[in-house]
Amino acid sequence: MSFLKRVLSTIVGLIIFSILSFIVFFMFIAFLGSQGEEPIIVENNSVLNLKLDFNIEDHIGKKEYENYTFLNEYPKHSLFGMIRAIEFAKTDPQIKGITIENNFTFAGYAQLKALRDALIDFKDSGKFVVAYSDIFTQQSYYLSSAADTLYVNPSGTIEFKGLASEQYYFKDFQEKTGLKMEVVRHGKYKSAVEPFLENNMSEANREQIKSYLNSIWSTIKTDISKSRSIPPETLHTIADSLLGRTPTLALENKLVDKVGYYDEFTNGIKHQIGLKTEDKLPSIDIRDYSEYTYSKQKSSYKTDKIAVIFAEGEIIYGEGDENFVGQGIINNALIKAREDDKIKAIVLRVNSPGGSALTSELIWREIELTKKVKPVVVSMGNYAASGGYYIASNADYIVAEPMTVTGSIGVFGVLPNGTKLFEKWGISTHQVMTNSNAITYSFSKPLSENQRKFIKEGIIDVYDLFLIRVAEGRGMTKDDINTIAQGRVWTGSEAIDIGLVDELGGLDTALKKASELADIDDYATKEFPIFKKDFRESLSQLGLMKTKEELLREELGEDGYKVWKEIKTQTQREGVQLLFPYGTYIE
């Protein structure tokens, strides 16, 4: 038996060694291959192709792999990397125009507006922008409507129907499973926890959702109206009656300029730049061009710099990563920027629905210390709500996109409770205590009135501090903030009227203001944070291992995965939260 064990252990060892050797060999070959990659070349008479069939992120960030530095990544096709590339293309003699080829666009409306504004600015150069799609989703149509000419496939459709929001409710789910969420909230509109308490949407929640949807829809109609010369009222009627549902209707109602096939689209571009039909149309993808133009921009060598720190994702307590905002990476970035003498100002780009109250306060404090040394300006993305607004409120100046979702100044606490679940499974628990409050909370017992009272006190304290922080940051009274708080959600366009933001615009507007406050004219930007990666993630990205989330996406599909992720995220939250109800999806 002992001999057999040794044989088996040897075989297992050889298998593991072989697998590891293969992985190392594969990584080594990949590394050697990357060293021999050909440089990106932009041919003469090229068009810049915006086929945005990938997730658009404000900041992709540099990824550093400990002990595997050859795997380090620094992708340049973030939202602002692409915007900088479009700006560069204005004066690039090799680029004759831009093509937009979109069936589906994975971006929020604030991000799309930033890209759209860049395209409109690009057209000032006299170069063309032409769009084609088989199926225009509403998001892709909004972006593409900035083009000079829009093509749609003869068998295609245009989705132009207005905005809708859908929220999942879990009250009955809790009853059926026995897993209940104990909720304590403060704020009339704090609807992030409403799905655990009701089966139907409250009137207060319906009111705020309708308000911010109408605000976003108004901006969409206004922008399309300017580009397509269609009155906003007419656009509203087109959406109500779905008058873009067929190519013929879309053409009749001026949503598109031409109904044609892809080859007709490309031939039209060839003709425009003086090529023959049989000639190849030189084209470069926006991701490659973002990489190409980054090396051409010499701004990084300028002495004065402005740090751009990206806070993107839900706010959690801890280090944080590219998906979550933690006090670790954000405060470390603020400290580095504060202590760097070459950095004269800081722009904090907030794209977050909020989260942990404690983490928001820790980041707030670091911003407070930083403001004493150099100016801090906030640029808001798709979301800067609840905890996202908490950290933004302490800036010297706040810039938001018109379609940014912000505010949501309210607080809630949520704790998972499995009392009924344990009863169904036949599990019982018994407690022994030296003091009446020795057990603050138990998963197996419902909250007592005393426990609920203490939690409520904590919620009210956090809400009160939230009001104070915002009032101090915005130069308003606590009572003034309370009237526009209560968890109410606002868009950037609405927020400027009630004093929650200072100016409407994008990152460029925030950088301009930061340079003014720092009294500098010529500067470069330096982006933070840098993300540390581990070996497992490197294997996943090389395709040698799939993450649990990737497997679930494949098995459940996108809609099923969305529901699973929402349930998982909701049940994982504990403690006091400053969070926008981002389970409310805008479609």
Helix (H) or strand (E) holding 155: strand 149-158
Q: Please indicate whether the domains covering 46-161+242-294 and 298-586 agree at the CATH topology level.
A: yes
CATH, range 46-161+242-294? 3.90.226.10
Checking if the pLDDT of 233 tops 80, the result is yes
- Residue 501 has φ and ψ, to the nearest 5°, of -135, 165
* Domain 298-586, second-level architecture: Alpha-Beta Complex (3.90)
Residue of 386, 408, 493, 515 with catalytic role: 386
Task: Name the least confident of 14-18, 155-159, 177-181, 411-415.
Answer: 14-18
Checking if the pLDDT of 349 tops 80, the result is yes
**Cis bond before residue 247 (omega within 30° of 0):** no
Q: Is residue 190 annotated as part of the catalytic site, yes or no?
A: yes
pLDDT of residue 583: 52
Q: Helix-strand-coil percent breakdown of the chain, rounded to 5?
A: 45, 20, 30
Q: Is residue 428 annotated as part of the catalytic site, yes or no?
A: no
Tell me the residue length of the chain: 587
pLDDT category of residue 528 using cuts at 50, 70 and 90: very high
Helix pair 357-371, 449-474: axis angle to 10 deg: 20
pLDDT category of residue 556 using cuts at 50, 70 and 90: low
pLDDT category of residue 179 using cuts at 50, 70 and 90: confident
Checking if the pLDDT of 181 tops 90, the result is no
Where in the chain are the domains?
46-161+242-294, 298-586
> If we measure between CA atoms, which residue out of 330, 344, 380 comes closest to residue 108?
380
DSSP 415: E
Average pLDDT, the chain: 86
Cβ-in-10-Å burial (0-12, 13-18, 19+) of 146 comes to: buried
Task: Name the least confident of 116-120, 239-243, 459-463, 471-475.
Answer: 459-463
**Cis bond before residue 232 (omega within 30° of 0):** no
* pLDDT tens sequence across 411-431: 888 888 888 888 888 988 888
Residue of 96, 127, 190, 374 with catalytic role: 190
Contact 337, 307 (CB under 8 A): yes
Contact 174, 196 (CB under 8 A): yes
Checking if the pLDDT of 366 tops 70, the result is yes
DSSP 55: B
Can you tell me the distance from the alpha carbon of 350 to that of 272, in angstroms, rounded to the nearest whole number? 41
Can you tell me the distance from the alpha carbon of 36 to that of 399, in angstroms, rounded to the nearest whole number? 43
398 versus 21: the higher-pLDDT residue is 398
Helices (H), 303-396: 327-339, 357-371, 387-392
DSSP-based three-state secondary structure for 305: strand
* pLDDT tens sequence across 20-67: 544 554 454 444 444 445 688 899 999 999 999 888 999 887 766 665
pLDDT of residue 443: 85
pLDDT of residue 145: 98
Can you tell me the distance from the alpha carbon of 346 to that of 274, in angstroms, rounded to the nearest whole number? 46
